[in-house]
Amino acid sequence: MDSKNLNVVRHPLIQNKLTYLREKQTDNQDFRLILEELTTLMVYEITRNYPLKEKAIETPLEKTTSKTLATKIALVPILRAGVGMLEGVLNLLPKARVGHIGLYRNEETLKPVEYYKKLPQPLEEFQIIVVDPMLATGGTARAGVELVKEEGGQNVQFLCLVAAPEGIENFSEKHPNVPIYTAAVDERLDEKGYIHPGLGDAGDRLFGT
**208: Cβ contacts below 8 Å, ≥ 6 apart:** 28
Half-sphere exposure of 170 (CA within 13 A, CB side): 18
- Assess contact for 159 and 131: CB atoms under 8 A: yes
The verdict on 207 binding ligand URA (CB under 6 A) reads no
Contact map string, positions 71 to 110, toward ligand URA, x by CB under 6 A: ----------x-----------------------------
Beta bridge partners of 130: 76, 158
Nearest residue (CB) to ligand URA, 165 versus 198: 198
Helix ranges (H only) for 9-72 are 12-22, 28-46
Q: CA end-to-end span of the chain, whole Å?
A: 33
Per-residue x/- mask for ligand URA, residues 19 to 58, rule CB under 6 A? ----------------------------------------
> Is 105 among the residues known to form the active site?
yes
* Binding track, positions 117-146, relative to ligand URA; x by CB under 6 A: -----------------x-x----------
Q: How is 133-146 classified by DSSP, letter by letter?
A: SEESSSHHHHHHHH
Stretch that binds ligand URA, among 30-38, 116-124, 148-156, 200-208 (CB under 6 A): 200-208
Only segment of 15-23, 93-101, 143-151, 190-198 that touches ligand URA (CB under 6 A)? 190-198
Query: CA 209: distance to chain centroid?
Result: 22
The total of other beta-carbon atoms located within 10 Å of residue 65's CB is 10
State yes or no: is 109 an active-site residue: yes
**Active-site entry in 22, 80, 97, 105:** 105
Interacting residue ranges for ligand URA, rule: CB under 6 A: 81, 134, 136, 193-195, 198, 201-203
